[in-house]
Structure 1
Amino acid sequence: MSNAVTRLNNYFQSRQATHSVSWSEQLSGPKHQRKWTMQVKAFGELLGTGTADTKSVAKEKAAEEALVALGIIQSE
């Protein structure tokens, strides 16, 4: 698990709210050039979206965006 994903999970675990977090994924593009888009929501609110060539990198990007939205880290 990536650093941002771990931090996001730890944030919600510390608040006993892991059940409120959900991830969705979408795969698009031609077979030779796939793109993954991952979204993370908490309590039904979209917190982050990430798009990349791999699912894990897209999830990391979405988690980073969520951490910024929650005020845990600052945008770079």
Structure 2
Amino acid sequence: MTSYVTQLNNYFQGKKASHTLSWSESSTGASHEIKWTVQCKVSGEVKGTGVADTKAAAKEEAARQALVAYGF
């Protein structure tokens, strides 16, 4: 199964607009219980936000929300 991040990247590459896609990430909590927050932005506008125990999981959730915002 293709990841949401890959699907989102492929979508924007197909539109020749991959330069508009960006990510911001931050973490909170003690080192043994970090929570990651990742935002998916398109042209600077937040299209999805994921919060999870791992950065990868938070990024996947942010990408999933962005895909939903684009009708997928």
Do they superpose with TM above 0.5?
yes
* Band the TM-score falls in, shorter-chain normalisation: over 0.9
Q: Partners in 2 of 1:45 and 1:70 — Cα distance?
A: 13
Q: Indicate the RMSD between aligned Cα atoms, in angstroms.
A: 0.9
Identity %: 56
Equivalent residue letter for 1:13? Q
Which residue in 1 is equivalent to 2:39?
A: 39
Q: Could you list the runs of 4 or more consecutive aligned residues of structure 1 that deviate by over 4 angstroms after TM superposition?
A: none
Query: Structure 2: which 5+ residue stretches go unaligned?
Result: none
Q: Which amino acid aligns with 1:50?
A: G
Residue 30 of structure 2: aligned partner: 30
Partner Cα separation in structure 2 for residue 51 and residue 33 of structure 1 = 13
How far the C-alpha of 1:16 sits from its partner, in A, is 0.2
Within 2, Cα distance between the matches of 1:52 and 1:24? 14
3-state SS of 2:32 partner: helix
If the length of structure 1 is used for normalisation, what is the TM-score? Answer: 0.89
1:53 aligned partner: 53
User: What's the TM-score, normalizing by structure 2?
Assistant: 0.94
Following superposition, the deviation at residue 10 of structure 1 comes to 0.5
